[in-house]
Structure 1
């Protein structure tokens, strides 16, 4: 079992959908609030940010990832980029209160000890750990002490590295998120079957942090058993910043939520049977045994006397061998459906 706030996430629960703002607010609190509005209107369960102190996250000489260079078209350092995307703790306090008023869960990824302590102070119900900190075991050890459920992203990782992290977090509730850490992630490197591999290996609730374009892969992840889905979204993919181009827009976020709910409704219990809405179709589309020609009471039925035709309201064709050699007890006209009562 895994719980975020009042919502329990288990094998039979609805998929928990996290609308990931990340840094797509571009350092603007008002834009962040607009994104919260979009997430709440979409029906997502939570909206997630990233909380960090830039100087504590990266060194002044750290270069940007290739996708960050490509998406920002800038040669600035990673520190310079992050400084423009950083929000103050006071801003996050305000945003959490705004989320509370909107009835949507506030989540955030802490990237340093001070940010983690702050998020604990304002009462977050779960930490999201980014893939980059999966192997940062000292940091995970500190987070474990807050006794808060943890969403553990596993981009770039193998099973051994996941196991090492879980050993540190053994006292915490942990949901493991499969992930491919590229923005956008190429389809041929998504490796969705790893969802089941992780599930089988660790027996934990497993989800999917989706960095692909569009919603298709998130839908597939849900069908494979992902119980948490996280997806970046933005107000406009043409906004400046590293993550906008790999994010979905408000209409697509609504489509993501609606699509996941439809998939959940369609999964069923796995018992193969005729569904209530199929009953009429079954009667119309299936076939019965009918008289091939006019038959007279007392006639002995031969194969030439019977054909199979719609509707399926009479004797099923599979019982044809049982009719051969039987007598009929009333006159039947051609195309008349036989019943068991017509036989002697």
Structure 2
């Protein structure tokens, strides 16, 4: 990836992620974030892949960690109540983490169902782990924007990147972009509040990021409804990522801010309608207007 400064803004260009082109004028790239909503169960992960496929998503996303590296030291020994009993936070992180065998199943299942999968790696060994599966891209979580060692490991793969920008200042994003470069970079505007209240969405930042960096910009949402994600598309978001779950009442930290199957289906449906409705911006007489024009207009130009 080549580097650029934030003050030298190239023309926005599309980014190729596997078989999908992401950018202005392309179909909105919809990512169903499974994350850790599988609760450590491959069967649940497969059901969520089915949900994403049925809804019309282009991709699903997981999270990959090496728990002894990515878990903050002051959190490791804290006791957590879980469906599997009382355990330390570090033990819990291992309990919900997929390893080689599970990701092999996921890889085969996603490919058989015609959907891309990738993950947010939270540490350098997880980058190497994901590279073994030939994932089409890597997603950088908002929490990792300032992890320069991880960013360099990701940049070294030469893969296109998706960078979430929650909980980050423009200066922190500038530093990340210096490492990642802008060739092959897609940004996602995000606010890392779970669930997201409307007054913190700040959707006009989509334009700010696009103008500052000259890259395709999408939206990663943590709200409970559909309106804010749809507004993001209307404001030019070229990708939308939403957490998905089988049931928001399931145990786990991300389920409450996730979309259930019907909600995801409705979101993708409405995004596709919005794409058609936005048009190309050229003012002209539409085919459907010709009959009303001949019937209603008394004076021709």
**Structure 2: runs of 5 or more not aligned:** 1-13
**Residues 171, 197 of structure 1: CA spacing in aligned structure 2 closer, same or farther, 3 A cutoff?**
closer
- The reply to whether residue 203 of structure 1 matches residue 205 of structure 2 is no
* Other-structure match for 2:30: 17
* Other-structure match for 1:307: none
Distance 1:17 1:283 in 2: 41
Of 241-250 and 4-13, deviating more is 4-13
- The reply to whether residue 58 of structure 1 matches residue 71 of structure 2 is yes
Tell me, what secondary structure is at the counterpart of 1:20? strand
1:131/1:154 contact within 8 Å kept? yes
Aligned partner of 1:143 among 154, 161, 182: 154
TM-score norm. by structure 2 comes to 0.89
Tell me, what secondary structure is at the counterpart of 1:108? strand
* Other-structure match for 2:105: 94
TM-score norm. by structure 1 comes to 0.78
Tell me, what secondary structure is at the counterpart of 2:117? strand
* Other-structure match for 1:242: 253
* Other-structure match for 2:276: 265
**Structure 1: runs of 5 or more not aligned:** 287-311, 320-344
Over the aligned positions, Cα root-mean-square deviation in angstroms equals 2.2
Tell me: higher relative CO, structure 1 or 2? Use CA pairs within 8 A at least 6 residues apart: 2
User: How many angstroms does 1:85 deviate by?
Assistant: 1.9
User: How many angstroms does 1:76 deviate by?
Assistant: 6.8
Tell me, what secondary structure is at the counterpart of 1:192? coil
Distance 1:315 1:115 in 2: 69
1:18/1:45 contact within 8 Å kept? yes
* Other-structure match for 2:52: 39
Aligned pairs, how many? 284
Of 19-28 and 4-13, deviating more is 4-13
Aligned partner of 2:40 among 17, 22, 27: 27
Alignment of 1:270-289 (within 5 A): 270-284=281-295, 286=296
Distance 1:172 1:270 in 2: 27
Distance 2:86 2:203 in 1: 33
- The reply to whether residue 79 of structure 1 matches residue 94 of structure 2 is no
Distance 1:160 1:283 in 2: 57
- The reply to whether residue 153 of structure 1 matches residue 164 of structure 2 is yes
Distance 1:77 1:256 in 2: 37
2:186/2:215 contact within 8 Å kept? yes
1:15/1:229 contact within 8 Å kept? yes
Tell me, what secondary structure is at the counterpart of 1:175? strand
Larger radius of gyration: 1
Tell me, what secondary structure is at the counterpart of 2:189? strand
Aligned partner of 2:128 among 117, 121, 139: 117
